[in-house]
Structure 1
Amino acid sequence: MQIFIMVLGALVLGGDQLLKYWITQNLAMGQARTMLPGLLSLTRINNSGAAWSSFEGQTWFFYIVTIVALAVILPLLVRAFRRHDSLVYFSGLVLILAGTLGNFIDRARQGFVVDMFQLDFINFPIFNVADMALTVGVILIFIYVLFLDRDEDTTSKGSQR
């Protein structure tokens, strides 16, 4: 199952890059295409910052954050793979890795991230597949830490007695 999740992470990363390429080839800067009226549009922007334009133009900051994130995620991922840890935890790490790499590739190649998903029903930053992977990955890690990790700690402590 872990191999399947790693393949899924690679597909998320590949899909992120392919969609960004398609967007840059088919939409002019700032151009929008309605996908679901009143809900979702594809709008091309080049984002040199983070959400709500925070840290705009601070590419060096994102390089540092990426290096730190990879230094934390990769050993955790290897350890989780070897120990056959919870699939929720493992999936969260894989998605965080895919999202981190997806946005890093953009910043390294172009100096900015291509964003495209615009929620039309709320004032929310335009985002991309890598951002979604990061968000879902963090949510899965929170679920694991808040609800599942305790169960595993209790089970392992009981078996050590």
Structure 2
Amino acid sequence: MIFVYLLLSAVIVGIDQWVKIWTVSTFELGESQSVISNIFSLTYIRNTGAAWSLLEGKMWFFTIVTVIAVIAVLYFLIKNLHGSKWFTVGLSLVLAGALGNFIDRVRLGYVVDMFQTDFINFPIFNVADMSLVIGVICIFIYIILDEKEKGK
């Protein structure tokens, strides 16, 4: 069963890396192309930090945090293989997001970001970032449902 969750993570990492390679080969650094006017654009940037460029240039920090996160996620995934799908799928998505951005940091020294929301001032993000956010949402849903079940 763990194979399914690791395959899910691997597919998302593959999509993330493919979109990043396509972005770098298609756009000049800083170039932007509107996809849906005033709503969504593709904009190629390099991010040496985390969201909102926090902790810019702290590669050692991101390396340590990612290694710890990957170990923790794998531990909880194995421990809860037969538990809630919300939790195991959430962990798989978090794993994919962490690895997708980690590959960039190790390979390039920065993370390639490309998705920009034009209707709101929000950081430019990538597939790995989306995977992380959706994974955390799934884990929160699991926690809420689990607490609700315990309350019965």
Match of 2:145 among 139, 144, 147: 147
1:108 aligns with 2:106: yes
What residue identity is the alignment partner of 1:133? S
What residue identity is the alignment partner of 1:87? K
Give the distance between the partners of 1:34 and 1:110, measured in 2 at CA: 26
CA RMSD of aligned residues (A): 1.7
SS in 1 for 2:112: strand
Match of 1:117 among 94, 115, 118: 115
What residue identity is the alignment partner of 1:80? N
Residue segments in structure 2 that go unaligned for 5+ positions in a row: none
Give the distance between the partners of 1:136 and 1:148, measured in 2 at CA: 18
What residue identity is the alignment partner of 2:19? L
Q: Normalising by the residue count of structure 2, what TM-score does the alignment of the two structures yield?
A: 0.93
Give the distance between the partners of 1:65 and 1:100, measured in 2 at CA: 9
Which deviates the most, 62-71 or 119-128?
62-71
Give the distance between the partners of 1:3 and 1:108, measured in 2 at CA: 25
SS in 2 for 1:74: helix
Residue segments in structure 1 that go unaligned for 5+ positions in a row: 156-161
Correspondence for 2:129 = 131
Distance 1:3 1:149, change over 3 A: farther
Correspondence for 2:30 = 30
What is the percent sequence identity of the aligned residues? Answer: 49
How many pairs were matched up? 152
Runs of 4+ in 1 over 4 A off after TM superposition: 1-5
Query: What is the CA-CA distance between 1:9 and the residue it aligns to?
Result: 2.4
Give the distance between the partners of 2:116 and 2:127, measured in 1 at CA: 12
SS in 2 for 1:41: strand
Query: What is the CA-CA distance between 1:154 and the residue it aligns to?
Result: 6.6
Q: Normalising by the residue count of structure 1, what TM-score does the alignment of the two structures yield?
A: 0.88
Larger Rg: 1
Correspondence for 1:67 = 67
Correspondence for 1:15 = 15
